[in-house]
A and B are shown apart, each in its own frame.
Chain A
Amino acid sequence: MNVSGSTNQPLLEVDNMSVGFRAKKKPTAQAVRGVSYSIERGETLAIVGESGSGKSVSAMAMLGLLPSSAEITGQVRLEGVDLLALTPKELRTYRGRRIAMIFQDPMTAFHPAFTIGNQIAETITVHGLANKKQALSRAAELLELVGVPEPGVRVNQYPHEYSGGMRQRAMVAMAIANKPDLLIADEPTTALDVTIQAQVMEVLANIQKEVNAALILITHDLGVVASVADRVQVMYGGRIVERADVRPLFRAPRNPYTRGLLTSLPRVDGARDNRLIPIPGSPPSILAMPPGCAFAPRCSYRTEVCDASAADLQMVVDGHESRCHHNADLPEWTPLQTGSES
């Protein structure tokens, strides 16, 4: 573990990152448009958004996991080193060692023809951190750490002999094998049964505390966010539209889109006859973004200024940012405003 002495520099700084996809005879598709954020060691940052909001793409871009048609601009600095400026060879030494990724679907994310133990061990040996035998016994320890029963037996089993939840635990074990500084979990619970989701999230959160890693949690599951995240940033149309600590964000969301997200979810404490209010319309295509605010076509507070230009991300109250022209004149948020008349 390298705990750097100076604390004024965050672990990871994403600085004005944009990702576009080139295509023949088509305009470049802008999936991520000028995203900036930073994350500290030990912190959990949730990135929330619908499919196509750019949340996964922005994470994959950091690790150079996007296809060659992707054009990435901006900077991603890990302790001051710009990952986007590294050669593929240099970047490879970061992958799996300093930055590890947990993928959405544990069913397909493991190679079907190698044992789980082999695949975890490979993460260690490929960085030259141990020989194969040491790495295999370490793999068994890691499996035990994430709560896989009988790790000594399980380590020699193939992915198809694991259940979905166990596989995702093994995925977590593989990700933390080299005690990375940064964990990126891309929808880690989406493919799991509801009953298993909480267990896996708990394992992930505990492990993160144990190795004191920063965790970027990409998800659309607001329940998961509320239970483990420290900070939340909401993405829409490739931009961050709202960012705050987790409690203020859920207590008083400032952005019309975030409000829409929350009212479209059922609440345990809501009245039985309250209807959910869906957000009308659908997210914009990244090939045809509205010229102004990306959410304007679906927004009930939309005015002319929204169509003309996109708002900046403004600090609304201390530590709570929102990207909206109507930050000042938006009505107060009432959590139970869901009406039954619609």
Chain B
Amino acid sequence: MVAYALRRLLGAIPVILVSTFVMYALVSSINDPIAELRQSCPQCDSSAYDRLNDLYNLDQPIPQRYLSWLGGAVTGDLGVSTSMGEQEVAPIFWDRAKNSALLSIPAALIVIVFSAVLSIYSALRQYSLGDYAVTGFTYLGLAMPTFFFGLLLQVFWGIWFQNWTGLKPFWTGGLHTESIGDLLSSVALPITTLVIISLAADTRFGRAAMLETRNADFIRTARAKGVPERTIVLKHLLRAALIPMVTVWAITFGTLLGGTLVTETVFSWPGLGRLLIFNGVFDGDVNIMMAVILFIGVITVLFNLLADLLYGWLDPRVRYG
């Protein structure tokens, strides 16, 4: 198992290399700081151009630039930002990643617990009122655009609720770290948004997995052995239905960690998604973009590996040699 995990990690290295190279080549081809400088500062002399060349190796071909970027990235040096006045990218990136994690890790954990509980409930009481309620709620979550739900929460807590009661229990935007209470109240609404949006798909999937398992022959066998209904659900049913669900959970976790642009935008959250799009893409900042892309690539590979390892641990039919 350990050997397998190590081998998979080694195998992930070329995946990361190829994907970052392709991204680097594409991103570098369409962003030209020299051209931008020429436009934004027609009176600049050659020293400004030399400075740019010096910082970003723009006089070298793209593969060579990639190699020097890679050399830095391996040692934790993610280069210098073009758009934010020659700041180091690494500290900016880590700061944003931390902010994103404040939302994504709690949201992912809540999604896992809730989707497990809701799908068990829904499958055991199939076609009951409760099941229809869960189904309706999940479809609402699937159908509602993220930005709309986020805005709805903001309008409700920021305006309506305040008009009725005069209280404003939650921050409706921004990250406030003055106190623990401020922190909690500023993460509440964005986390709720992320949970509702991701919970929907995971619960649908979980319900299907539970329903399929509930009618399995081995559940009938357990019943025929005289196993109490409670044990059947908590031991036999859950254990078998967990196997497909683990994959979905790992994907959910990875997606959330990689940044959630829309939610971050609605709640003015200084996270990775906004860093990638606003500072990276809109400002043509190659090093910012590459930092986030590298992170998303690594996270995706790691969580896929985690899902595979969990799979083998839960299902004895899967063995790694």
Contacts and interface: CB of A to CB of B under 8 A. Distances in A.
Contacts of B227: 96, 122, 126
A122 B217 contact: no
Nearest to A115: B316
Given A105-B217, A108-B217, A95 B226 contact: yes
Contacts, number: 70
A254 to B, nearest CB: 34
B216 interface: yes
Interface string B214-238: 0011101111111111010000100
A110 B218 contact: yes
Contacts of B222: 111, 122
B189 interface: no
Nearest to B231: A126
B226 A126 contact: yes
Interface string A63-77: 101000000000000
A94 B223 CA distance: 11
A94 B226 contact: yes
B226 A97 contact: yes
Interface residues of B, number: 22
A287 B224 CA distance: 28
A92 B225 CA distance: 8
B226 A110 contact: no
A109 interface: yes
Say what secondary structure dominates the interface of chain B. Answer: helix
B220 A65 contact: yes
Interface in A77-124: 88, 92-97, 100-101, 103, 105, 108-114, 122-123
B240 A65 contact: no
Contact of A112 (B223, B228, B316): B316
A158 B317 contact: yes
A160 interface: yes
Contacts of B243: 113
B168 interface: no
Interface string B288-317: 000000000000000000000000001111
A113 B224 contact: no
Given A96-B225, A111-B239, A158-B316, 10 more contacts: A92-B228, A96-B224, A96-B226, A100-B224, A108-B216, A110-B221, A112-B218, A113-B240, A126-B227, A158-B317
Nearest to B215: A67
